[in-house]
C-alpha cells in the first residue's frame, strides 16, 4: 500500500529551480510527478537523515587561527555538539596538510645532512626523524565539557573539563578519544588548541604562490565562524610595500584537497556566506580580530600555567611555556579574514589563503 504523500509548496529562486532541473536531467531522474520533485525529495531526505541519525551534530563552530611573524601557527577550535545517541567516547583529531608534511620531511633531511657534514669537527648530533617531527608541535590540547560554552568567555573554561588529553606521540597527526559518557540529546563543548612551529610554507621556485589553512566540514554543522589573522611582519622579506601584500581570501576544496573553481558553491542566494577581510589600522573589524588573538593567547597561557592540572600533562611533553608565549605575541600590523556561514556543506573544506612569505635571509 502506497503511503499518502502531502503536496507542499516550496519557494526558491528561478536560478536554483533551473539548477535542480539540470541535475535531474544529468542524473537521469524519471518521475511522473516531475524531475525537480524527485531530486528535491531525495536531497532533503538525505540532509534530514544526516542531521537526525549522525552520532552527533555541530550546532556552532568557532575557529581562530593566528599566523605569527616567524611562521608559527596557533589554532583554537570550539564546537558545540549535540549528541543524537549515547556516547562513551568523543573522538578529536588534527593533522598536517600533505604539502606541509612533504616540506617537513624535506627540511629534516636537509638539516640532517648539514649536521652530518659537521659531525666530525663539532661532534654534532641530529635527532631521528620521529623526534624531530615531534619537536614541530609546540603543544596540543583536546578537551570536552558538559553543555554549551561561549568560546570568548574564557572564565567558563577554567574549571575542570569532563575529559582532556595531550597527544605526546603523534608526529603528523594528533588525536584524542575523550571520555564523555553522555546520553543522546545532551550538549557537549569540544575544544582543540594546537601550536605548530614553522608551519607556513615559504616562497620557493615553481611552487604555488599561496599558502592556506583548511577547515574541514566532516559532520553536519551550522553557525560556522572562521577567523584568520596573519602578522604582517611575516612578509618583511618579500620586498614589497605593506599595502602590496595580497589580502587574505577564501577558497573551497573537497575532502581530497582538490580546489573548487571559484566560490560559486557557496554563493547561491539560499546559502549566504558573510565575508570580512582587511588589515589593521585601516579597516572595520581589526579591533575584533586583535581581540581574537588576545583571547587565544590568554587561553594558551592558562593551559600552560603550572598551577593547572591540565598543564601537568603538557609538562610530560617537555613544553617550553615561555618560548611559546613569546612566539604568540600580539601583532602590531596584521591581515585578517572572517567567514560566517550559517549552513556549511558537509564534505567540504573552507580554506583561507595568504600569499607565501619569503624566508628571511633567503634560506
Asked which of 14-18, 85-89, 102-106, 268-272 is least confident by mean pLDDT, the reply is 268-272
- 121 pLDDT higher than 80: no
Region 156-161 average pLDDT: 91
- 319 pLDDT higher than 90: no
pTM for this model (two decimals) = 0.90
* Residue written as grid cell 539540470: 22
Instruction: Give residue 311's pLDDT.
Output: 44
- 330 pLDDT higher than 90: yes
Region 76-95 average pLDDT: 96
107's enclosing H/E stretch is helix 98-122
Angle (deg, nearest 10), helices 14-27 and 35-53: 90
Distances (CA, A) of 250 to 75, 129, 172, 340, 354: 17, 34, 25, 11, 9
DSSP 19-43: HHHHHHHHHT---TT-HHHHHHHHH
Instruction: Give residue 317's pLDDT.
Output: 46
List pLDDT tens digits, range 33-76.
667 888 888 888 999 999 999 999 999 999 999 999 999 999 99
- 298 pLDDT higher than 90: yes
Cα gap 154→145, rounded to integer Å: 13
In terms of Cα–Cα distance, which of 296, 282, 302 is closest to 330? 296
Asked which of 107-111, 121-125, 158-162, 186-190 is least confident by mean pLDDT, the reply is 121-125
Amino acid at each position: 500500500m502506497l503511503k499518502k504523500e502531502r503536496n507542499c509548496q516550496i519557494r526558491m529562486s528561478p536560478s536554483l529551480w533551473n539548477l535542480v532541473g539540470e541535475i535531474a536531467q544529468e542524473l537521469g531522474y524519471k518521475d511522473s510527478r516531475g524531475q525537480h520533485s524527485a531530486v528535491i525529495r531525495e536531497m532533503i531526505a538525505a540532509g534530514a537523515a544526516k542531521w537526525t541519525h549522525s552520532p552527533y551534530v555541530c550546532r556552532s563552530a568557532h575557529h581562530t587561527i593566528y599566523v605569527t611573524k616567524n611562521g608559527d601557527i596557533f589554532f583554537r577550535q570550539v564546537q558545540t555538539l549535540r549528541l543524537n545517541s549515547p556516547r562513551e567516547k568523543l573522538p578529536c583529531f588534527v593533522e598536517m596538510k600533505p604539502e606541509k608534511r612533504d616540506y617537513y620531511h624535506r627540511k629534516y633531511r636537509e638539516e640532517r645532512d648539514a649536521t652530518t657534514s659537521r659531525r666530525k669537527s663539532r661532534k654534532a648530533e641530529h635527532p631521528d626523524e620521529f623526534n624531530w617531527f615531534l619537536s614541530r608541535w609546540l603543544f596540543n590540547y583536546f578537551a570536552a565539557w558538559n553543555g554549551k560554552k561561549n568560546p570568548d568567555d574564557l572564565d567558563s573554561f577554567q574549571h575542570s573539563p569532563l575529559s582532556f588529553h595531550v597527544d605526546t606521540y603523534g608526529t603528523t597527526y594528533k588525536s584524542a578519544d575523550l571520555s564523555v559518557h553522555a546520553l543522546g540529546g545532551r550538549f557537549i563543548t569540544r575544544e582543540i588548541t594546537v601550536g605548530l612551529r614553522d608551519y607556513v610554507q615559504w616562497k620557493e621556485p615553481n611552487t604555488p604562490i599561496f599558502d592556506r589553512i583548511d577547515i574541514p566540514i566532516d559532520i553536519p554543522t551550522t553557525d560556522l565562524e572562521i577567523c584568520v589573522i596573519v602578522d604582517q611582519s611575516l612578509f618583511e622579506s618579500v620586498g614589497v610595500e605593506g599595502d602590496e601584500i595580497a589580502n587574505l581570501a577564501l577558497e573551497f576544496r573537497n575532502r581530497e584537497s582538490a580546489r573548487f573553481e571559484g566560490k560559486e558553491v557557496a554563493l547561491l542566494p539560499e546559502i549566504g556566506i558573510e565575508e570580512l577581510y582587511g588589515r589593521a589600522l585601516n579597516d572595520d573589524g581589526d579591533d575584533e580580530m586583535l581581540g581574537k588573538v588576545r583571547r587565544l593567547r590568554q587561553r594558551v597561557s592558562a593551559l600552560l600555567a603550572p598551577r593547572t592540572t591540565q598543564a601537568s600533562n603538557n609538562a610530560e611533553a617537555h613544553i617550553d611555556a615561555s618560548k611559546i608565549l613569546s612566539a604568540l605575541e600580539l601583532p602590531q600590523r596584521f591581515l585578517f579574514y572572517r567567514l560566517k556561514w550559517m549552513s556549511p556543506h558537509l564534505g567540504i573544506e573552507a580554506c583561507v589563503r595568504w600569499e607565501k612569505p619569503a624566508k628571511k635571509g633567503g634560506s
